[in-house]
Amino acid sequence: MKVPLKWLQEYIDITLSPSELANRLTMAGTEVKGIKVIGDWESIVVGQIIAINPHPNADRLYLPTVDVGTEQLTVVCGAPNLAIGDKVAFAYVGAQLIDGHNGQVFRLKSAKIRGVVSNGMVCSEKELGISDIHEGIMVLPPDARVGMPLAEYLGDVIFDLEITPNRPDCLSIIGITREVAALTRQKLSLPEVGYNEAALSIEQHISVEIIASDLCPRYCASLVTGVRVAESPKWMQQRLLACGMRPINNIVDITNYVMLEYGQPLHAFDYDKIKGKKIIVRRAGGGEGIVSLDGVERVLSGDMLVIADEKAAVAIAGVMGGADSEVTEQTTSILLEAANFNPANIHFTGRTLNMPSEACMRFERGIRPELTLPALKRATQLLIQLAGGKAAKGVVDVYPGKLEREPVLLSTAKLERLLGVEFSLDQIIEALTSLSFECKPTSSKSEVLVTAPYWRSDIHQSVDLTEEVVRTIGYDEIPATMLSQPLPRQNPEPIISLKQEVRHSLIGYGFQEIITYSLTGMEMLNRLLPEPHPLKPMPLRLANPMTADQEYLRPNLRANLLAALSENRKHEDWTQVRKIVAGGRRFT
C-alpha cells in the first residue's frame, strides 16, 4: 500500500526522518519496500502575481510581476492563463526544471527575451515534473503561503508498504498512523466527524434486510440528497493519485478516499435507481446475472452474495457495484453503503469471477464490522462538504453478527516461556496500551486481562498478544541463545545417505550432476516409447498445468537426460565421452 507522509502527518506529529520511520515500521512487521520522494525542487517557491504588463516588443508575451515574499520580480512569460492574485510556482535563476518542449532537464539562466531581461520563471506542471500539462502555468490553491519553498508545500514522501494478510486494519492511513503512534509512543488525532442532518429520517427513504446473515454480519447505510456530481477537489485527487487510485468524480473519489483513510470499503448507489426503496442482502440465485461497473456481464453462482433491490441484484457484495445503479452526472441522491462481509465468501467470489479489487482485498482479509459506522459517517460528512448534499436523519444499521470481544489473559510467565526473555508487567501493559489495547489488572501481580481495540481482527490468544508486546518493544530485545536441551535421538533414513553416496561415486567417475524439472509433456513422454502406443500406466496429470510441456509428473528421468544430451550437443564435442547424472523423484 502507498502511504504519503503528509497524509500521516495530518493525524500525528512525525519527527523521525523518512528512513528511520521506514526502519521502525519494517522491524515491527510492516515492511517498507520503497521510499519515493516527490518534488525535490530547489530554488522554486510559492509566488503571487501582483501585476501583469504587456511585453513592449511582442504581442504574445507578458511581463508578470511576482511577489515571492522577500522581493518582487518581473519575468517574461507567454502563458495564456496569467491572472493577478493567483498563487504560482516561481523558479529563481539556477533552478532545475524540465523543458516543456523536449522534456530535457535544464538549469534556468537569466535571459533577455525580445529585449527584456527575465530573472526567473513562472512554471507549468510539466516544467516541474508533476504532470504533462504545459498549456499554461500551474495555479496553486489560495492557501499556499507566499515565499514558502514549493518542496515544502507540494513535495511529499510516499512509502510503499507491504501489509501482511493478518493486518487488514493497516490497509489504511489511520491504521498506519496507529502503528506509528505505538512505535513512537505518541498520541494521534483523528479527523473530527460531525454533520447536520435533515428532518426526515432515513428509515422513511430506505429499508435494509439481510437474508444471508451468515455472510453479512453488518450493513450500514446513509442517504445524502441534493448532491452535485463534479470533479473532486485537487487535494483529494492528488492524494488518490499518490496512493495509486484514479480520480473519477467527487462521489466515487470520496468513497475511495475514505476507504484509504479508514480501511473500510464503501459503495455509492444512485438512490433513485434502487427499486422499491429496499436493499436486500442475499445469496445470488443460481445463474443470476449482473452487469458490473466495468460493463462486463457476470453470471453468478448460488454461493455468491449480492446486494439487491426489490427487482434484481444491484451489486456483487464486497467485490464490485452494478452498472444499473451507478452514480452518473445526473445523480442527485446517494445511498452510501458501509457493510461487512464474510472474508472467505468474498475471497471465493473475487477469485472465481477473477475480479480482484481494493475492496475485495480488504474484505477477504477480515476487516472488523465495527469499522463500518465510523467510515460511513466520515464519508457522509465529506459528501455534504464537497458535493453539497443534505444527509437524511440517522443511518441504517443492521447488525446480526455482533460479537462481544473476549478478553485474553496474559501473564509475564507465558511471555517469558515463549520468548526466552523476561518483561515486567508494566512493560507489557505500556506496550499494549500504546497500541490501544485495553489492559485490566487482575488479582495477580503477574497477569493482566487484555481486550483488543475494535479494529483488530487478528488477536485471539495469548501468543498473539506476545507478538504485539515484543514487536512494540522491539525484536532486538530478544537475546540469541543456543539450544541447550539434550540432543534428540537420531534415526537417519538410510536412503538419504545412500543417495548422497551414489551421487558422490558417480561424480568421481566423471559424471556431471544435473537437476531437471519434474514436470514434463505428453509429447516428450511419447517420444520415449519404441513405437506409437498409449502410455501405460498414465502418468499423474496436473489439473492446472501452465503449459503443455509441463502437464505431467515424470514417470522416470530418461526424458530429462535425453533432453539434456540434445541440448548440450549444440556446443559440446560428443566424439568425447560425456557423462551426466540426474537425481530426483519419479512419480508413478
Partner 1 sequence: MLKQLEELKLNALRELEGITNAGELESWRVRYLGRKSELTRVLRSLATLPLEQRKAVGASANEVKANLEDSLEQKAQALRERQLKVSTKEEPIDVTLPGRYLPTGHLHPITHTLREICDIFGSMGFQVVEGPEVEWDYYNFEALNIPKEHPARDTMATLWADFETESGERPMLLRTHTTSVSARIIETMQPPIRIIVPGKVYRYEASDATHTPMFYQIDGLVVDKGITMANLKGTLYEFSRRFFGEDRQVRFRCDYFPFVEPGAEMAIECLVCGGKGCRLCGNTGWIEILGAGMTHPRVLERGGLDPEVYTSFAFGMGIDRLPMLRYGINDIRLFYGSDLRFLRQF
Q: What is the 3-state secondary structure (H, E, C) of 200-264?
A: EEHHHCCEEEECCCCCCCEEEEEEEECCCCCCCCHHHHHHHHHCCCCCCCHHHHHHHHHHHHHCC
Nearest residue to 428 via CA among 476, 462, 458, 460: 462
**Window 158 to 217, contacts with partner 1 (CB under 8 A):** 164-167
User: Distance of CA 471 to CAs 56, 102, 477, 479, Å?
Assistant: 68, 50, 9, 14
The correct pick among 509, 530, 537, 575 for binding partner 1 (CB under 8 A) is 509
The correct pick among 211, 478, 502, 528 for binding partner 1 (CB under 8 A) is 478
**Window 316 to 345, contacts with partner 1 (CB under 8 A):** 343-345
Closest CB 541 distance from partner 1, rounded Å? 4
The site string for partner 1 over 347-386 (x = CB under 8 A, - otherwise) reads: xx--x------------xx---------------------
146 binds partner 1 (CB under 8 A): no
The site string for partner 1 over 563-582 (x = CB under 8 A, - otherwise) reads: xx--xx--xx-----xxxx-
Q: Centre a 10 Å sphere on the Cβ of residue 47 and count the other Cβ atoms it contains.
A: 31
User: What kind and span of H or E run contains 396?
Assistant: strand 396-398
**Window 28 to 67, contacts with partner 1 (CB under 8 A):** 28-29, 31-35
96 binds partner 1 (CB under 8 A): no
Mark the segment that binds partner 1 (CB under 8 A) among 108-116, 194-202, 266-274, 466-474.
466-474
The residue count for binding partner 1 (CB under 8 A) is: 92
487 binds partner 1 (CB under 8 A): yes
**Window 97 to 116, contacts with partner 1 (CB under 8 A):** none
Closest CB 90 distance from partner 1, rounded Å? 33
Phi/psi for 530 (5° steps) reads -60, -40
2 binds partner 1 (CB under 8 A): no
Instruction: Give me 251's grid cell.
Output: 462521489
Closest CB 578 distance from partner 1, rounded Å? 7
Mark the segment that binds partner 1 (CB under 8 A) among 44-52, 57-65, 284-292, 477-485.
477-485
Phi/psi for 433 (5° steps) reads -65, -35
**Window 399 to 428, contacts with partner 1 (CB under 8 A):** 417-421
**Sequence letter at residue 104:** Q
Closest CB 403 distance from partner 1, rounded Å? 19
124 binds partner 1 (CB under 8 A): no
**Sequence letter at residue 101:** H
Q: Find where cell 501452465 sits.
A: 546
The correct pick among 512, 523, 527, 528 for binding partner 1 (CB under 8 A) is 512
Cβ proximity to partner 1, 107 vs 579, nearer residue: 579
Nearest residue to 316 via CA among 329, 328, 303: 303
Dihedral over alpha carbons 325, 330, 336, 340 (to 10 degrees): 30
Contact predicate 256/246, CB 8 Å: no
Instruction: Give me 567's grid cell.
Output: 541440448
CA distance 171 to 51: 47
**Window 249 to 288, contacts with partner 1 (CB under 8 A):** none
The correct pick among 298, 390, 471, 554 for binding partner 1 (CB under 8 A) is 471
